[in-house]
Structure 1
Amino acid sequence: MRRRRLYEGKAKILYEGPEPGTIVQYFKDDATAFNAQKKGTITGKGVLNNRISEYLMTRLAEIGVPTHFIRRLNMREQLVREVEIVPLEIIVRNLAAGSFAQRFKVEEGTALPRPIIEYCYKNDELGDPLVAEEHIAAFGWATAQDLDDIIQLTMRINDFLSGLFIGIGLKLVDFKIEFGRLWDNDEMRIVLADEISPDSCRLWDLKTNEKMDKDRFRRDLGGVEEAYQEVARRLGVLPEAGPSDAPAPQTIQ
């Protein structure tokens, strides 16, 4: 199939959708870390992330969290609503880990007294810098109402996903999500966008603290593909044929 490519990021390609207001989101096997300073390939990652994100987005929609997700199309693609992305990465931290632990010299795995929300400005050239609510307001990246909606949805998402992952023996250490503005005639609402997967979540085994996410790639721990497959298996969405391949559509200009 030939489609017009709209955008290619580190882990996904966006194509023009079959109907107005829709986009086809294609999941790649490419992996990056440290603002793309480290690059590699995780075999079958795109297939697994497509399944995992489909499942989590669907479950969140069931509890009333609005998302851009419509349906999965095939092994590597899903149909989503076209949204105006809010240029912020919303990071939720339940336990100290990664750069947060380094910044505050806190031992990894330390439980935080309450979930901490951080904001990063989505800009690869600047390295996605941390920003405060004052920056968001001053530069007009989101209105006060937008931010209020984002915070409320983020806390609901964290509560739900934390419980869901505990149910399959995993700790939700931290995660990154993005939101978009969905326009329906003259009405606008904030919806969850992008993806939720081991690319964007830190997931540790509840008993052993074994890392089951992209940290295995970042830190050269090995067993990256197996960790992603195990998360999919516990969620009950591991493809029966395994993470088989599906080529991207041919691009037309």
Structure 2
Amino acid sequence: MSLEEKREKINNEVYDTEIGNYDKSLERKIERIIAVDRLKSEGGSGEVDRSAARSQIKRALTDIRVYIYFGILGFGSIPSFALSFFLPVLVKQLGYSDVQAQLMTVPPFIFATICMTIISWLSDKYKFRAWGIVAGDIMSIVGFAGIVATSALDKNLYNLRYFFTTLLACGVCTVLPCVLAIVLKLHLDHINKKRDLDLLSRHNVSLNDSELRNSKKIREMAMKLVEHEPKCDEVLCDYHPNWRYIT
């Protein structure tokens, strides 16, 4: 009997839909099967399926989304790394010595960290990550334009130039977390939709064209199908067939 067949059999034993009985004592059987299956590949004597690993690598290398995500993250990281390398140079232009310039790079990063934390928290709480990127870009553009517009030779403009440098740091550091969150969400939405559709197909649920375009509706239908499945221990949830629905 395969692992999936064992799980299905015990699932039916744990929850009997006809009489509505629920036996929690049998949940440990499912957890034990999952744990044994994990140990076979991670710490047991079972051999790794190298053909499956090669197919996964090939699928990753031929997936256009991988290169799109790589481009988004790559271009999104350039300003952050550029700021890390050249911020001491920008500060040193304000008349500081080498040691003082290194010390004066600390306040911009402190304010950038505070700004990044606040905007990242707000964008995650209210689900407006794109606006978080827009806010970061605006601060970056204003800060960069201010640095270009103010002369490094005029000592009267040093404080203003330092302010624009700090504003630039706030904008650059704010954008990257929001970009990472969007890329991760796009990837997880794609993966979860495929899993949801697979689950619906195994339950012989048919969808029309409008329903296929509604990811939220697909997720609700899939969650409803597994609402009576037993919940495994948190440590083993990642190996549960429907771990994404466990709350």
TM range, smaller chain: under 0.3
Work out which of the two has the higher radius of gyration on C-alpha atoms and give 1 or 2.
Answer: 2
Give the structure with the larger strand fraction. Answer: 1
Length-normalised TM-score, structure 1? 0.22
